[in-house]
Amino acid sequence: MRSFVGANWKMNGSGVEGLAYLERLKDSDVESEPVDVVLFAPFTLLPVLAEDAREAGISLGAQDLYWQDRGAFTGEISTSMLLEAGCSWVIVGHSERRNLFGEDDELVRLKLIAALRAGLRAVLCVGELLEEREAGRTEEVVKGQVLRALEGLEEADPDRVVLAYEPVWAIGTGRNATPDEAARMHGLIRSWLSDMIGEMGAKDTRIIYGGSVNPENAPDLMTREGIDGALVGGASLGASSFLQIIRSCCHHHEH
Ligand code: 13P
């Protein structure tokens, strides 16, 4: 299985910075690494970066989408707009969308279906809040998110969907889940997937970890069984730290 590493820039970056960043990835020959690298840039940067991303051998993704294809939805972006902008991936259900902008499981599912039907690939994010973890509800919460997004969804094959486990208390806090705890949650997610889509599909689905991944903790996280890559926020903004994380994931692949 090829590892997957995503840079989620969130609401950061500019065209000039983005082009310089892609130049660095190109010079570092990221293309030859046995890992799928995707840059999730803000909407306005997608067409600006599309050509250089292709030259650097990485894919471009959006951080969100709307499920309707057109119409009176002020401020929203459709799948055909993303495709035209040069995107092949999209994030759905990021915790910031869920918690800051009120997205529920039903909307996340509609977005996932729209993305897959349009031919985009998707990173589906799940993860519990600190208060849910402290109340002993982590497994129930994450299982609910996985099931409500994916149950009965025929389009959700391992080629087109990556799951990201991102415990909300670990995002942007500098406090990552321990590799043991991340691996335990990944194992559980894979077992729920297996119940839904069968053992083969679950085995082939990449489950990546997100939440304060950086060049220091990546080697330990990425060598754990069942952790197939990373979704990186803060540490993806600089090309050199993101490159180090990419390389940690490649070593995982060689084992
Ligand atoms: P940080 O790496 O900044 O904690 O963000 C993680 C994340 O939300 C990636 O989607």
Q: How is the chain split into domains, by residue range?
A: 3-254
Quote the pLDDT of residue 255: 41
166 Cβ inside 6 Å of ligand 1: yes
Q: Do residues 149 and 127 lie in contact, with contact meaning Cβ atoms separated by under 8 Å?
A: no
Phi and psi dihedrals of 213, rounded to 5? -70, 135
Residue type at 195 in one-letter notation: D
Which of 94, 96, 132, 252 is labelled catalytic? 94
How many A from CA of 71 to the centre of ligand 1? 32
110 three-state secondary structure: helix
Annotation says 166 is catalytic: yes
Quote the pLDDT of residue 206: 97
Which of 103, 166, 186, 252 is labelled catalytic? 166
Q: Do residues 168 and 95 lie in contact, with contact meaning Cβ atoms separated by under 8 Å?
A: yes
Ligand 1, atom 2, residue with closest C-alpha: 233
Burial of 150 (0-12, 13-18, 19+ CB in 10 A): buried
Q: Do residues 10 and 63 lie in contact, with contact meaning Cβ atoms separated by under 8 Å?
A: yes
| DSSP letter assigned to residue 97 | H
Is the pLDDT reported for residue 210 higher than 80?
Answer: yes
pLDDT band with cut points at 50, 70 and 90 for residue 26: very high
How many A from CA of 182 to the centre of ligand 1? 14
pLDDT band with cut points at 50, 70 and 90 for residue 251: low
Which residue from 111, 130, 143 is spatially nearest to 172, judged by alpha carbons?
130
98 three-state secondary structure: helix
172 Cβ inside 6 Å of ligand 1: yes
How many A from CA of 234 to the centre of ligand 1? 6
Nearest ligand 1 atom, CA 214: 2
State the Cα–Cα distance between residues 35 and 232, nearest whole angstrom.
14
Which residue from 51, 53, 56 is spatially nearest to 40, judged by alpha carbons?
53
State the Cα–Cα distance between residues 123 and 197, nearest whole angstrom.
17
231 Cβ inside 6 Å of ligand 1: yes
Quote the pLDDT of residue 57: 96
Please name every residue paired with 162 in a beta bridge, in sequence order, or none if there are none.
Answer: 123
Instruction: Give the number of other CB atoms < 10 A from CB of residue 191.
Output: 13
Tell me the pLDDT of the chain averaged across its residues.
Answer: 95
Above pLDDT 70, what percent of the chain? 98
How many A from CA of 8 to the centre of ligand 1? 7
Comparing 55 with 33, which gets the higher pLDDT?
55
Quote the pLDDT of residue 254: 46
Q: Do residues 30 and 7 lie in contact, with contact meaning Cβ atoms separated by under 8 Å?
A: no
Report how far apart the first and last C-alpha atoms of the chain are (Å, whole number): 11
State the Cα–Cα distance between residues 45 and 10, nearest whole angstrom.
12
CATH number of 3-254: 3.20.20.70
How many A from CA of 170 to the centre of ligand 1? 8
Annotation says 94 is catalytic: yes
Is the pLDDT reported for residue 252 higher than 60?
Answer: no
213 Cβ inside 6 Å of ligand 1: yes
Quote the pLDDT of residue 154: 86
Distance of CA 194 to the CA centre of its chain: 20
Which of 50-59, 76-85, 157-166, 245-254 bottoms out in mean pLDDT, i.e. has the lowest?
245-254
**Over the stretch 92-108, which tens digit does the pLDDT of each residue have?**
999 999 999 999 999 99
Quote the pLDDT of residue 248: 93
